[in-house]
C-alpha cells in the first residue's frame, strides 16, 4: 500500500477510536444521571425517618441532666 493509503487507514482508525470513546462517555453520563435520580429518590424516601431521628435525639438531649464539671469520677 502507498503512504497515502496508510494515512487514510490511520485517520479512519482514529475516528473509530474517538467514536468508541464518545459512546463510552455517553454511557457514563447516562449512568451518572440515573445514579443522581436514584440518590434523590432515596433521600426523599429517608427524609421522614431522618427527621424523626433528629427530633428524638433533640428530645433526649433536652431531657438529659446538665453536666456540671464538679460531678463525675475523679482520678489522681
70 has a pLDDT exceeding 70: no
CA distance 64 to 7: 79
Question: pLDDT digit string (tens) for 22-68?
Answer: 999 999 999 999 999 999 999 999 999 999 999 999 999 888 866 66
C-alpha cell at 49: 425517618
The CA–CA distances, whole Å, from 49 to 12, 38, 42, 62 equal 56, 18, 12, 20
Higher-scoring residue by pLDDT: 6, 37: 37
Amino acid at each position: 500500500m502507498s503512504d497515502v493509503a496508510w494515512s487514510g487507514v490511520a485517520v479512519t482508525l482514529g475516528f473509530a477510536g474517538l467514536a468508541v470513546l464518545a459512546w463510552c462517555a455517553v454511557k457514563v453520563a447516562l449512568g451518572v444521571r440515573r445514579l443522581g435520580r436514584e440518590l434523590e429518590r432515596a433521600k426523599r424516601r429517608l427524609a421522614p425517618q431522618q427527621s424523626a431521628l433528629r427530633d428524638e435525639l433533640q428530645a433526649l438531649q433536652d431531657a438529659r441532666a446538665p453536666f456540671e464539671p464538679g460531678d463525675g469520677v475523679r482520678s489522681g
